[in-house]
Amino acid sequence: MTLRKRRLTAPFSSRGQVGVTLVELVCVVVIMGILAAVAGPRMFANRVFQERGFANEVAASLRYARRIAIASGCNVRFTVTAAGYSAAQPSALCNPGGAWGVVVQSSDGQPLANAPPAGVAVGAAVFEFRPSGVLVAPVAAVNVGAFSITSDATTGAVSVQ
């Protein structure tokens, strides 16, 4: 019984060399580049997350403004515009008929205000809370992108949908 050595070769190789050609490599790189250009931006789109985050921030700030109205015994006016949100109290002895010059501060001592992230569309509304925590007048929902913020006129409860 004699043993013969067999030579292993690649299926389409005439010389027994294994590898890829430069043309094949370039084709794979071009296809990967096209896929990255098309699918890449979709993987990193975060506008919806920014909208939801800002909607939650506005709702939390509204709740805080309501608590400030209850704690201070003075009305609090919370204004939402396309440029952001802010909260203020009357300047003269809790008289809501006067100027709203006292800026409401958050728990860290900074003004209760912020601007929306770039590309996030925000509607406009003015919420005014009484010292009892209810709204002075009903307010339509405020849209932050695809989300809406509402406040119940009878209880002052704030929700995000």
The predicted-structure confidence for 131-160, as pLDDT tens digits, reads as follows 999 999 999 999 999 999 999 988 889 999
The predicted-structure confidence for 29-66, as pLDDT tens digits, reads as follows 999 999 888 887 777 778 888 999 999 999 999 999 99
The CATH number, out of the four listed (3.55.40.10, 3.30.930.10, 3.40.47.10, 3.40.630.30), of the domain defined by the range 47-160: 3.55.40.10
Under 8 Å between Cβ of 142 and 125: yes
pTM for this structure? 0.72
The domain segmentation of the chain, as residue ranges, is: 47-160
Write the CA distances from 39 to 30, 36, 48, integer angstroms: 14, 5, 17
The predicted-structure confidence for 62-105, as pLDDT tens digits, reads as follows 999 999 999 999 999 999 999 999 999 998 888 877 888 899 99
The predicted model gives 118-129 an average pLDDT of 93
